[in-house]
Structure 1
Amino acid sequence: MEDDSILIRRRDRIARGDSVRDLDRSLGRGDLLSVAPGAYVERTTWSELSPVRRHRVRVLASLERLKTDPVLSHFSAAAYWGLDIWQPWPSTVDILVQDGARSSGSFRRHTGDIARHDTLALGDFSVTTVAQTAVDIALLVPFHEAVVTMDSALRVGAGDSLTTRAELVAAAERMRGLPGSRRAFAASDFATHLAESPLESVSRVRMMEAGFPAPELQREFIDRHGFRAFVDFWWPEYGIIGEADGQLKYGGLGSADPEAARRAVIAEKNRENTLRRLCSGFARWEHADVVKPGRLSSVLRTAGLPSTRRSPS
């Protein structure tokens, strides 16, 4: 892993002459944050890390405490591979164990027949493969969350051949008979490499659940003036475009530079205006619209998209 350089180990600081009191003072002031027993990160550094990178740092710091070579699995393996998950990253580290050891402290231990899991040896530890990781998560989470990770597994593997749909199905087959295995099969069948974000993945599930027609994904639009743009969802039969979290299409919206943010807003507005001239209906939604029941359905129906399900409104 690439996160070793930001870890501050208690034993190393003491070996270099820092006292226990110095370390405790730094922790008390909040200059250092504890990520595992005896392992710290500077507060300013931690604040700049993404949630997935924070989890990878926790994994690295925690694995050093194990006396046996661990098998990294589930959400921690997902963080290692760069896969998406829908829920917040956990504060514990997922590992596979053969016996019935209990979860405690920094570790969440998953028991079972390790031989059923496809793993790779990486130096001092092993990790479940991309396909195995996605299936293991699908055994534990609801269908929409399973699709988020399955989609990202195919997307990560699209250019580098890290995994394929056939490998997802094979991993699900190895887990056949376990609780959640039918969900894993269904998610592997529904998954696509074309969903570019967790929001798009969950949006696809909500559309299916609400009886909307399946859209084309990542459709390119071009006009005679040289405009080119890819849209998240396209229903050619109805001439309707769908955009999930469209304000993120251009960088800069979260920038500390007000001028960059202003330019991003203008660019996105111009993009949307052009797309509206190229379609019959336009729908845009955000995270809250897929979390709250019925919100996405309302957005799509307002844009003119029909559903096979009855609407209360």
Structure 2
Amino acid sequence: MGERKQACADRLLDEAEHAYRLAFASSHTEVMALKRRRDAGRVVEPAKGYFARSDVYKSLSKRAQAMYLIRAVAQKHPTWIFASFSAALVYGLQVSHRYLDTVHIVVGSHERKYKPGGFITCHQMGDVEPIVVAGIRVTSLFQTLLDCACSASFRYGLAVVDSAVHWNLTTVSELKVYFDSCGKRKRGIATARKVLQWVDGKSENGGESVARAVMIELGFVVPELQREVVDPMDSTQVKRVDYYWLLSDGTEVMAELDGKGKYKGTGDVAKDIEAAIENFSDERLRESHLNLTRALVVRFSFAQAIDEDYMRRLLTCAGIPLREAS
């Protein structure tokens, strides 16, 4: 009996891994087989009723973990429609990690706003015509962006909408028409409109968008994004900086958001150390060349970017002025 349960658990986990999703049970026997593996520490249960091998799940990024759960829920409930941040993730947009622990689905206007498991948030909507993306039923892109911009704080809503414009999935003008027609009296619409006011598709990732949003919230002049700078050491080479300001006295200020992703390991210690040293060396060489332009070059991490006191002091010391009151 034990061998049969082990084979059952292996089959469920193998099928799930092949489909890049979490495993779930369809019978009491399967539930017990998976829970037995969980209790032995070989399997994790990230959400109630959904399982994965521990080593596989821990190797995934936070975004990948969230997508594994969404694919599993979609497999188990093929008629469900995913909404808000879950739909945004399916579209491939930049969703903050803080919004990835919950699965967002659509329920009818008169349907109970509750689903078992404790990790599902229900959004009551009228008739929704779903869009199928990668085999998953989701709300339309416009509806998804409106819901995210209304639900998230300004800085994290900006990251979602920036990414949609960056990937040419829509335009600001199209979004303004939709938000005006479908966002009236919607809770959070004021934040959504503020997001549209500052959207810039030149932002290349969510971290850059969030950092820019902090600058906006603090009242500083908004930088030019992804400014191309000729390398003084090699005029055939052009480097792009994350943020650029030209001050009234002619001073150029360039700012770069440090990304930890390029320094993350693969598991091979020797190769990881070599890669980290090479990447760090490349970054220092890049910065030294930027300094030769005689511009002021500043760097900050994501943690520093969302520390408002730190960013206020950093940008003030760099000479970045405040925006004039409108």
TM range (shorter): 0.7 to 0.9
2:219 to 211, 226, 242: 211
Counterpart-to-counterpart distance in 2, 1:213 and 1:108 = 38
Counterpart-to-counterpart distance in 1, 2:49 and 2:304 = 42
2:200 to 189, 192, 195: 192
Counterpart-to-counterpart distance in 2, 1:45 and 1:269 = 34
Normalising by structure 1, we get a TM-score of: 0.83
Q: Is the 8 A contact 1:69 1:124 kept in 2?
A: no
Matched ranges for 1:300-311 at <5 A: 300-308=315-323
Q: Is the 8 A contact 1:32 1:43 kept in 2?
A: yes
Counterpart-to-counterpart distance in 2, 1:233 and 1:20 = 52
Determine if the alignment matches structure 1 residue 45 to structure 2 residue 44.
Answer: no
Q: Is the 8 A contact 1:11 1:38 kept in 2?
A: no
Residue in 2 that maps onto 1:141: 152
CA deviation after TM superposition for structure 1 residue 208, in Å: 2.1
Counterpart-to-counterpart distance in 2, 1:210 and 1:107 = 34
CA deviation after TM superposition for structure 1 residue 258, in Å: 0.9
Unaligned runs of 5+ in 1: none
CA deviation after TM superposition for structure 1 residue 261, in Å: 0.9
Residue in 1 that maps onto 2:178: 171
Counterpart-to-counterpart distance in 1, 2:17 and 2:140 = 19
- The count of residues paired between Structure 1 and Structure 2 equals 296
**Segments ≥4 residues shifted beyond 6 Å:** none
Cα 1:92–1:304 shift into 2, 3 Å: closer
Q: Is the 8 A contact 1:96 1:109 kept in 2?
A: yes
2:114 to 86, 103, 109: 103
Cα 1:211–1:108 shift into 2, 3 Å: closer
Amino acid in the other structure paired with 1:242: A
Q: Is the 8 A contact 2:232 2:289 kept in 1?
A: no
Moved more, 251-260 or 270-279: 251-260
Cα 1:39–1:144 shift into 2, 3 Å: closer
Q: Is the 8 A contact 1:153 1:163 kept in 2?
A: yes
Q: Is the 8 A contact 2:22 2:50 kept in 1?
A: yes
Cα deviation 1:34-81 (Å, max 9, x = unaligned): 245544211111011111111111112223444x72221011101111
Determine if the alignment matches structure 1 residue 82 to structure 2 residue 84.
Answer: no
Normalising by structure 2, we get a TM-score of: 0.80
Identity %: 26
Cα deviation 1:4-28 (Å, max 9, x = unaligned): 24543434996xxxx7654332110
Cα 1:181–1:22 shift into 2, 3 Å: closer
* SS class of match (2:98): coil
CA deviation after TM superposition for structure 1 residue 155, in Å: 1.7
Cα deviation 1:100-157 (Å, max 9, x = unaligned): 4123424211113345xx741469863112332121011112211211111111123x
Q: Is the 8 A contact 1:3 1:57 kept in 2?
A: no
Unaligned runs of 5+ in 2: 1-15
Cα deviation 1:166-188 (Å, max 9, x = unaligned): 33223312122211112212212
Q: Is the 8 A contact 1:218 1:230 kept in 2?
A: yes
* SS class of match (1:294): helix
Cα 1:113–1:10 shift into 2, 3 Å: closer
Residue in 1 that maps onto 2:7: none
Counterpart-to-counterpart distance in 2, 1:54 and 1:253 = 17
* SS class of match (1:274): helix
Q: Is the 8 A contact 1:241 1:279 kept in 2?
A: no
* SS class of match (2:35): helix
